């Protein structure tokens, strides 16, 4: 390999690592703002005695080393679904390793869907908690400004969600440098604190973590609910793997982010050893007075970047859920002509804003909100561990002993953190659980409703018998190609029946088109389209897309020319059956779920927009279907 090639690869790795610092590590990078503050103050705070400070710091250090460095960076990042990561990607990977009709597939589906629901809870809590904790710095600057914390927080958050429609491309170029300055700053101030009290480094000894539990018993277990805040954002390492790759994420973590975070945490701990009264806000009280104003501004910028990452993640997760048949079609606006992953979803954006504003007004302070944060993070971490263990056993063919050892280690830590946060359900932990539960109900209802709807469509006329009957009594045929979109592959599309009944004609070429989503992020071009001649001018066509792709039917159909169909885009008409779903007493789902599915079906975005079909080439024919 030439020196030029090596230099080019090194430059690319450096650029991707810098971008990962800006996007991937925004969430975990702002955790020092509130982690130790939550541990030593507020309703569930513990006394900041020297022994407790060293114990908490030791737990923070070893938790970060095990959960983030070992579990996520070394283990979970291996579970890539053709380069993609995230809870739904991991879910499809785990399902692939199971037998076709295994009952365990439904358990894996339920875990993945609930994990996705908790991610939405995280997407609400992260902007609210991060921005609020940053703006609370003005209280340290001047206590009389406390009444302006909530208004300023709401202004920042509303502005953040308002600019989402412009896309993250314009903001992305400054994310890396801003976070670079942020990590350098918190590392420098943390190092200065350690120099003032170097005895804080004794916390590196895990004995202090053990003694913390021995001395405090149940109180130490409760404190895990605050310590887990140092791990928030670990899931982003896996979720954003497809954007940056494993190596840049690992290089950024071990080479820059982890040292900066540890220096700051230990710097705050050094402050608390000699000034336990600083427990109310050790991050800002660690700073010299001249640095307060610039650090408040920098912290606000860093928390906005952290919020941007989870908001973009919510957009991507929703698109994946739609593709996997877990969510109703919703408008997707592409904000970049170069990168398909940069999208904006208005419904998700404004829904998140409403929930974020409600969280800020309801919890009022970052310490109150921290209880709500932990339950979402720990729940997602535990689900990720279970799914990854299934992948390790079924796809990587680990031995039962290896899976058992890894499972005991990972789930003991995850469930301990989850249990500690479960104690705070009545104090705010219910909030993300409610969001996760609502998302779970919506997704499972949509999936089950679509299954029932497709079953009703396929219970109609058999397609091959219908074609044979037309051969015996041929209708009038007109020039051109008709494409009938149908979710059912065996039955006759309702649009075809209505067209024949009312217009009494058929086109020369009739294509029954079904769009399917594979359990991979992207489908290879050669496997995109399958065309099956049915005779008498009829064809069955299957279009396949990955769950991270955006369907574009007109472009995909240009491949038909290479398969001998000879379709002319200007002489092609798309027929769509606009089914109006009506709830009934037929078996399948509870009545309230039937009504929920009917409501979602009526309000889903048009198929023409989702599949990017030109409106002037569409004929819609209505039909009413009971489920």
Q: Which of 352-366, 447-461, 508-522 has the lowest mean pLDDT?
A: 447-461
Q: Which of 426, 448, 470 is the last residue of a domain?
A: 448
The residue ranking higher by pLDDT, 586 or 251, is: 251
My answer on whether 278 and 411 are in the same domain is yes
Q: pLDDT > 70: what percent of the chain?
A: 93
Whether this prediction's pTM lies above 0.75 is answered by yes
Tokens standing for residue 485? 């979109």
Contacts of 98 (CB under 8 A, 6+ apart): 104, 105, 108, 390, 394
What is the per-residue pLDDT for 56? 95
The answer on pLDDT for 110 being more than 80 is: yes
Q: Rounded to 5, what percent of the chain is helix, strand, coil?
A: 70, 10, 20
For residue 495, CA distances in Å to 501, 506, 574, 578, 598 come to 10, 12, 10, 8, 20
Q: Which of 404, 426, 448 is the last residue of a domain?
A: 448
The residue ranking higher by pLDDT, 550 or 7, is: 550
What is the per-residue pLDDT for 609? 80
The answer on pLDDT for 167 being more than 80 is: no
Average pLDDT over residues 19-45: 83
Average pLDDT over residues 601-616: 82
Q: Is residue 414 within 8 Å of residue 382, measured between CB atoms? A: yes
- Cα-to-chain-centroid distance, residue 493: 35
At 116, which CATH number? 1.20.1740.10
Average pLDDT over residues 181-203: 95
What's the CA gap between 592 and 7, in Å, rounded? 61
My answer on whether 490 and 419 are in the same domain is no
What is the per-residue pLDDT for 241? 78
Best-predicted range by mean pLDDT (4-18, 94-108, 149-163):
149-163
What is the per-residue pLDDT for 174? 67
What's the CA gap between 407 and 388, in Å, rounded? 9
Contacts of 395 (CB under 8 A, 6+ apart): 93, 96, 97
What's the CA gap between 66 and 413, in Å, rounded? 9
Look over the chain and give the mean of its residue pLDDT values, rounded to a whole number: 85
**Domains in the chain: how many in total?**
2
pLDDT tens across 380-428, in order? 999 999 999 999 999 999 999 999 999 999 999 999 999 988 888 888 8
- Report yes or no on 562 lying in a domain: yes
- Report yes or no on 24 lying in a domain: yes
My answer on whether 359 and 388 are in the same domain is yes
The residue ranking higher by pLDDT, 203 or 307, is: 203
**Sole residue written with tokens 């929930």:** 355
The 3-class SS string of 175-233 reads HHHHHHHHHHHHHHHHHHHHHHCHHHHHHHCCHHHHHHHHHHCHHHHHHHHHHHHHHCC
48 in helix, strand or coil? coil
My answer on whether 413 and 470 are in the same domain is no
Distance between terminal CA atoms of the chain?
63
Buried b (16+ CB within 10 A) or exposed e, 261-294: bbbbbbbbbbbbbeebebbbbbbbbbbeeeebee
My answer on whether 244 and 328 are in the same domain is yes
What is the per-residue pLDDT for 460? 66
My answer on whether 533 and 422 are in the same domain is no
Average pLDDT over residues 306-310: 79
pLDDT tens across 47-67, in order? 999 999 999 999 999 999 999
pLDDT tens across 315-371, in order? 888 888 888 889 988 888 876 555 555 678 899 999 999 999 998 998 888 777 877
Backbone angles phi, psi at 582, to 5 degrees: -125, 130
pLDDT tens across 263-280, in order? 999 999 999 999 999 988
For residue 457, CA distances in Å to 36, 493, 618, 623, 627 come to 57, 8, 21, 11, 11
Domain interval for residue 481: 461-626
CA angle 298/248/228 to nearest 5° reads 60
Which strands form 572-582's sheet, in the order they lie side by side? 529-535, 538-545, 505-517, 476-485, 572-582, 618-626
What is the per-residue pLDDT for 295? 92
Task: Tell me the β-bridge partners of 441.
Answer: none
My answer on whether 508 and 606 are in the same domain is yes
Contacts of 409 (CB under 8 A, 6+ apart): 66
For residue 448, CA distances in Å to 15, 310, 324, 589 come to 44, 28, 12, 8
- Report yes or no on 438 lying in a domain: yes
What is the per-residue pLDDT for 606? 80
What is the per-residue pLDDT for 212? 94
Q: Is residue 149 within 8 Å of residue 368, measured between CB atoms? A: no
My answer on whether 402 and 493 are in the same domain is no
pLDDT tens across 127-156, in order? 888 888 888 888 877 777 778 888 999 998
What is the per-residue pLDDT for 49? 92
My answer on whether 466 and 437 are in the same domain is no
My answer on whether 131 and 169 are in the same domain is yes
- Report yes or no on 3 lying in a domain: no
What is the per-residue pLDDT for 607? 81
- Report yes or no on 592 lying in a domain: yes
What is the per-residue pLDDT for 211? 94
My answer on whether 146 and 202 are in the same domain is yes
Average pLDDT over residues 546-572: 74
What is the per-residue pLDDT for 340? 53
Q: Please report which residue ranges of 136-168 form alpha helices under DSSP H.
A: 137-141, 149-162
What is the per-residue pLDDT for 508? 87
- Report yes or no on 363 lying in a domain: yes
The answer on pLDDT for 566 being more than 70 is: no
Q: Which of 106-110, 179-183, 544-548, 614-618 has the lowest mean pLDDT?
A: 614-618
The residue ranking higher by pLDDT, 625 or 423, is: 423
Buried b (16+ CB within 10 A) or exposed e, 437-462: eebbebbbbbbbbbebbbebbbeebe
CB atoms within 10 A of CB 106: 10
Average pLDDT over residues 575-592: 78
Q: Is residue 137 within 8 Å of residue 305, measured between CB atoms? A: no
What is the per-residue pLDDT for 42? 65
What is the per-residue pLDDT for 496? 87
- Report yes or no on 455 lying in a domain: no
The answer on pLDDT for 102 being more than 90 is: no
487 in helix, strand or coil? coil
CB atoms within 10 A of CB 580: 12
What's the CA gap between 153 and 514, in Å, rounded? 47
Backbone angles phi, psi at 124, to 5 degrees: -85, -45
Q: Which of 448, 472, 487 is the last residue of a domain?
A: 448
Best-predicted range by mean pLDDT (116-120, 500-504, 609-613):
116-120
- Report yes or no on 334 lying in a domain: yes
My answer on whether 501 and 384 are in the same domain is no
């Amino acid at each position: 390999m030439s020196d030029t090639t090596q230099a080019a690869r090194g430059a690319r790795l450096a650029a991707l690592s810098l971008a990962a610092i800006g996007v991937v590590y925004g969430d975990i990078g702002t955790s020092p703002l509130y982690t130790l503050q939550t541990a030593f103050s507020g309703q569930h705070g513990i006394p900041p005695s020297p022994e407790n400070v060293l114990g908490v710091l030791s737990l923070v250090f070893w938790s970060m080393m095990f959960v983030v460095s070992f579990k996520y960076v070394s283990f979970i990042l291996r579970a890539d679904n053709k380069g993609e990561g995230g809870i739904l990607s991991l879910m499809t990977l785990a399902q692939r390793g199971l037998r076709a009709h295994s009952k365990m597939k439904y358990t894996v589906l339920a875990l993945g869907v609930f994990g996705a629901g908790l991610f939405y809870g995280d997407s609400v809590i992260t902007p609210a908690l991060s921005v609020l904790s940053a703006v609370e710095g003005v209280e340290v600057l001047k206590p009389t400004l406390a009444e302006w914390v909530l208004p300023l927080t709401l202004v920042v958050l509303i502005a953040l969600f308002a600019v989402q429609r412009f896309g993250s491309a314009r903001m992305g170029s400054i994310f890396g440098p801003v976070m670079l300055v942020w990590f350098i700053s918190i590392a420098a101030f943390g190092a200065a604190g350690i120099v003032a009290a170097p005895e804080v480094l004794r916390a590196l000894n895990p004995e202090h973590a053990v003694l913390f539990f021995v001395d405090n018993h149940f109180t130490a277990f409760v404190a895990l609910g605050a310590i887990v805040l140092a791990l928030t954002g670990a899931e982003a390492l896996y979720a954003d793997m497809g954007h940056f790759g494993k190596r840049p994420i690992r290089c950024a973590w071990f080479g820059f982010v982890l040292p900066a975070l540890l220096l700051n945490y230990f710097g705050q701990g050094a402050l608390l050893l000699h000034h336990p009264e600083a427990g109310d806000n050790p991050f800002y009280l660690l700073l010299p007075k001249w640095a307060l104003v610039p650090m408040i501004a920098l912290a606000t910028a860093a928390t906005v970047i952290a919020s941007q990452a989870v908001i973009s993640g919510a957009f991507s997760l929703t698109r994946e859920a739609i593709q996997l048949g877990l969510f109703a079609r919703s408008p997707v606006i592409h904000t970049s002509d170069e990168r398909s992953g940069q999208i904006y979803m208005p419904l998700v954006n404004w829904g998140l804003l409403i929930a974020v504003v409600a969280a800020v007004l309801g919890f009022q302070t970052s310490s109150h909100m921290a209880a709500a944060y932990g339950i979402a993070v720990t729940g997602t971490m535990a689900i990720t561990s279970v799914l990854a263990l299934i992948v390790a056993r079924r796809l990587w063919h680990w031995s039962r002993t290896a899976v058992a050892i890894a499972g005991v280690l990972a789930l003991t830590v995850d469930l301990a953190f989850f249990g500690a946060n479960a104690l705070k359900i009545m104090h705010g932990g219910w909030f993300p659980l409610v969001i996760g539960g609502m998302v779970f109900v919506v997704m499972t209802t949509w999936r089950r409703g679509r299954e029932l709807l497709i079953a009703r469509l396929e219970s109609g006329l058999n397609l091959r018998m219908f074609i044979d009957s037309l051969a015996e009594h041929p209708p009038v045929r007109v020039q051109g190609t008709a494409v009938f979109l149908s979710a059912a592959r065996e039955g006759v599309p309702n649009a075809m029946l209505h067209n024949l009944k009312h217009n009494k004609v058929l086109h020369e070429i009739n294509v029954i088109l079904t769009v399917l989503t594979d359990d991979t992020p992207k489908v290879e071009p050669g496997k995109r389209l399958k065309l099956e001649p049915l005779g008498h001018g009829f064809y069955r066509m299957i279009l396949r897309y990955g769950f991270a792709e955006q369907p574009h039917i007109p472009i995909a159909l240009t491949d038909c020319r290479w398969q001998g169909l000879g379709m002319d885009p200007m002489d092609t008409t798309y027929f769509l059956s606009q089914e109006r779903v009506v709830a009934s007493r037929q078996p399948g789902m509870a009545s309230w779920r039937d009504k929920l599915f009917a409501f979602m079906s009526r309000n889903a975005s048009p198929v023409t927009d989702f599949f990017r079909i030109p409106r002037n080439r569409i004929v819609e024919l209505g039909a009413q279907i009971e489920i």
